[in-house]
Amino acid sequence: MADKKKKFYITTAIDYVNASPHLGHAYEKIAADCIARWHKLLGEDVFFLTGTDENAQKNVKAAKKAKIAIKQFVDSNAKLFIKLCKKLQISNDDFIRTIEERHKKVAQQIFELLHKKDLIYKGNYEGLYCTGCEAFKTEKELVTGKCPEHPNLQLELLKEEAYFFKLSLYQDRITQLLEKKYFVVPEAKRKEMLSRIKEQGLKDLCVSRKNLKWGIPVPFDKEHTIYVWIDALTNYISALEYPKGKYKKYWPADVHVIGKDINWFHSVIWPSLLIAADIEIPKTILVHGFINIKGEKISKTTGLVIDPFSITESYGVDSFRYFLLREIPFGQDGDFNEKALVARHNNELADKLGNLVSRTAGLTEKQNTKVKQVKQGQANKTLFKKLKLKEIQKHMQDYELDKALHKIFDFIDDCNAYIQEKKPWQEKDKEKLNNILYSVSDSTRIIAILLWPFIPETAEKIAKQFEFEIKSFDDCKPSLLKLSKIKKAPILFKKIGLEDGLKKATKSGELKKGLRKGL
Ligand SMILES: [Zn+2]
């Protein structure tokens, strides 16, 4: 039988491995993971890709500074990114490293294809180059002669023979594309690109560098290396075994999750390259904001970084995931603040969710022998009506992850209030008691399903305790649970004293300057 499942291909950006992962990397992966898991719940055939960008000159510079051979340097740092994915329970199906053969082959293939189509030509490039961005900068982009993203890096004046991609040919096509509503989300980020393209126009793009030892060689001209964007961007198709294999099933990407600093490359350059190569363009570029720490931008250059490993050690993976997804309105910049994390852990995860689960399990277990399964359609009516399932679905569809989470927690509040109001511990009428307990336990089951994309570990603990499986969004309807199987279990979230948490995190490396080699 033919597989009729709808496919869903989601990617994160690939990360430079010039230093160990920071909070921004963790946030992007967590957000993408939440979306990927949601689509799994919807029954779709999800393919989720993340990886590392290892050919960039940035990495070479960092390796030199650390006095480590480049290959060894990228290998050991790439491992940290892979480790981070595991630590954060990221459900990626593949992890691509751009030094892998499977990637090199495809990057070269695309370069050659565009050259054959006469869309890549040889010329001369002269300009100011920022090694931080790995990009030439126009005068217009500079702030007091410096790159605004890397004010403490010296710009280099480079003049060299280079290959150019005829990006200018695609101005009209890309403008039309950006006029379409959902190509770039959120709206403000789409409009930003649209006005930039109208203001600056599209010039041909330098796509090679000369005389570099590290990187993917231009297949027909070994003096040249494929310049970072044709190399990096093609990871999205090389991991799918373009032009065969998984590519046939999963391309085009449904969502590329990226940071706002690389929006231009993904919503202007990438679709131009794809159109030029006669490849379908991705459906949505989903742009998240930056996370600041106490109001300042995270930067490896200034050393203001938070180590996501130590935060996870101190607070637990789900508290960290929950905080980032709940606190930051998706698409906007947010602030990371450990006090706020501790407050959300205590007030929301422990007091609301944890409390609901332990009360429900406790009360139900106590009544174990007396409780019977309520017939379909008889239970949960009052309580279930309070669940805004359609709204949650709509928020997720619009990538408003924080709002969806907010709605789920509103329902948790409703459930706690329901217990408080019905006082099952005082209820003498067996049938009434049965119905109350059934309502809250079954609602808890539904809550766990809905929370799985956000806090998978916790959701799975609840599922185990209540003896059901998290399988499908379709199971978010009443009356499926056998009450007699619910057992008491250790509490889900222990409260954290602010002092304890902060001390622990600081000890294990928070805000340490020059955390690891290469900073
Ligand atoms: Zn820069």
How far, in Å, from the CA of 68 to the mean position of ligand 1? Answer: 24
What H or E segment, with its residue span, contains residue 188? helix 187-200
Q: For residues 209 and 228, what is the distance between their CA atoms, to the nearest angstrom?
A: 9
Q: Is 150 a catalytic residue?
A: yes
Among the residue ranges 19-33, 49-63, 70-84, 501-515, the one predicted with the least confidence is 501-515
In CATH, what number does 338-485 get? 1.10.730.10
pLDDT one-digit tens code per residue, 292-315? 887 666 655 555 567 899 999 999
Q: For residues 404 and 131, what is the distance between their CA atoms, to the nearest angstrom?
A: 39
Instruction: Write down how long the chain is.
Output: 519
pLDDT of the residue at 231: 97
How far, in Å, from the CA of 302 to the mean position of ligand 1? Answer: 13
How far, in Å, from the CA of 265 to the mean position of ligand 1? Answer: 14
Q: Hey, where are the domains in the chain? A: 7-305, 338-485
In CATH, what number does 7-305 get? 3.40.50.620
Q: Is 147 a catalytic residue?
A: yes
What is the residue whose two structure tokens read 């280099």? 156
Options 297, 477, 487, 495, the catalytic residue: 297
How sure is the predictor about 485, in pLDDT bands with cuts at 50, 70 and 90? confident
How far, in Å, from the CA of 384 to the mean position of ligand 1? Answer: 52
CB 48 within 8 A of CB 36: yes
Other beta carbons less than 10 A from residue 489's beta carbon? 16
How far, in Å, from the CA of 504 to the mean position of ligand 1? Answer: 34
Q: For residues 102 and 71, what is the distance between their CA atoms, to the nearest angstrom?
A: 17
Q: Is 115 a catalytic residue?
A: no
How sure is the predictor about 432, in pLDDT bands with cuts at 50, 70 and 90? confident
What H or E segment, with its residue span, contains residue 451? helix 430-451
Q: Is 288 a catalytic residue?
A: no
Options 7, 61, 150, 461, the catalytic residue: 150
Sheet holding 205-206, edge to edge: 135-137, 120-130, 156-165, 205-206
Q: Is 130 a catalytic residue?
A: yes
Options 130, 206, 415, 476, the catalytic residue: 130
How far, in Å, from the CA of 136 to the mean position of ligand 1? Answer: 9
How far, in Å, from the CA of 54 to the mean position of ligand 1? Answer: 18
pLDDT one-digit tens code per residue, 165-190? 999 999 999 999 999 989 999 999 99
- Is the per-residue pLDDT at 506 higher than 60? no
pLDDT one-digit tens code per residue, 12-52? 999 999 999 999 999 999 999 999 999 999 999 999 999 99
How far, in Å, from the CA of 149 to the mean position of ligand 1? Answer: 5
Options 34, 85, 147, 415, the catalytic residue: 147
Options 25, 103, 395, 407, the catalytic residue: 25
Q: Give the three-state DSSP class for 8.
A: strand
How far, in Å, from the CA of 53 to the mean position of ligand 1? Answer: 17
Options 300, 345, 403, 422, the catalytic residue: 300
Structure tokens at 8: 């869903």
Q: Is 133 a catalytic residue?
A: yes
Q: Is 22 a catalytic residue?
A: yes
How far, in Å, from the CA of 262 to the mean position of ligand 1? Answer: 12
pLDDT of the residue at 379: 60
pLDDT of the residue at 222: 93
Q: Is 34 a catalytic residue?
A: no
With a CB cutoff of 8 Å and minimum separation 6, the contacts of 97 are 51, 52, 54, 74, 78, 103
pLDDT of the residue at 214: 94
User: CATH topology of 7-305 equal to that of 338-485?
Assistant: no
